[in-house]
Amino acid sequence: EAQVTQNPRYLITVTGKKLTVTCSQNMNHEYMSWYRQDPGLGLRQIYYSMNVEVTDKGDVPEGYKVSRKEKRNFPLILESPSPNQTSLYFCASRAGTSGGNTDTQYFGPGTRLTVL
Amino acid sequence: EDQVTQSPEALRLQEGESSSLNCSYTVSGLRGLFWYRQDPGKGPEFLFTLYSAGEEKEKERLKATLTKKESFLHITAPKPEDSATYLCAVQARSSASKIIFGSGTRLSIRP
């Protein structure tokens, strides 16, 4: 089954304690992204990756790091989490573009993070 | 600056009462406009991609249309299971990866 998986699904942590949210896709997609979703603000892109070892900042990258060492995995790292990073996080992937058209983007189930 | 605005924020309909959701966008050259459905506590689920003005796509009770400034998601004779948040997003032609989302319309269908 084609899917994007995220772990953990729920996490409560304290300010300053480093954490990693994993993301994996089994569709051999080139493009992967991380979003955060906050009430009234919609989905905002944190980082994206166009292929292995190729990453770039989205709209809200401050306080986050990513890496893309393998095509299937795209972990999100919070080196020193703060309460304003409490949010619902989604990982997404897509194949790329075909004939100039953007392929469908598939989302993971989400990770609800609370930073105390 | 690329921007997406969705209206209304919330919409409550009676079962069978047709309506439309609006997505207004500003983008420097549209590569694609996307509609997603999101159920509470779940990731967005892809519905449609529209690429050029005049294009229309349908799926069951949903029909998406596109002009140069906005897109509509028409819902015909909705059922309670159509209740969800509907998200609109755009990608500019100049960007390979950046996709900008609106804040969504929360649709509730009463039996």
Residues of A in Cβ contact (< 8 Å) with B51: 101
The torsion of the CA quartet B43, B46, A34, A98, rounded to 10 degrees, works out to 160
Taking residues B41-61, report their average pLDDT: 94
pLDDT score for A99: 54
Interface of A with B (CB under 8 A): 4, 31, 33, 35, 40-45, 48-50, 56, 58-59, 90, 92, 97, 100-102, 104-110
B17 or A105: which leads in pLDDT: B17
Residue A101 has pLDDT above 60, yes or no: no
Between chains, do A108 and B43 touch, taking CB under 8 Å as contact? yes
For residue B109, the distance in angstroms to the closest alpha carbon of chain A comes to 21
For residue A32, the distance in angstroms to the closest alpha carbon of chain B comes to 9
- State which residue of chain B sits closest to A105, comparing Cα positions: B46
Mean pLDDT of chain A: 92
Taking residues A88-114, report their average pLDDT: 84
Residues of A in Cβ contact (< 8 Å) with B49: 101-102, 104
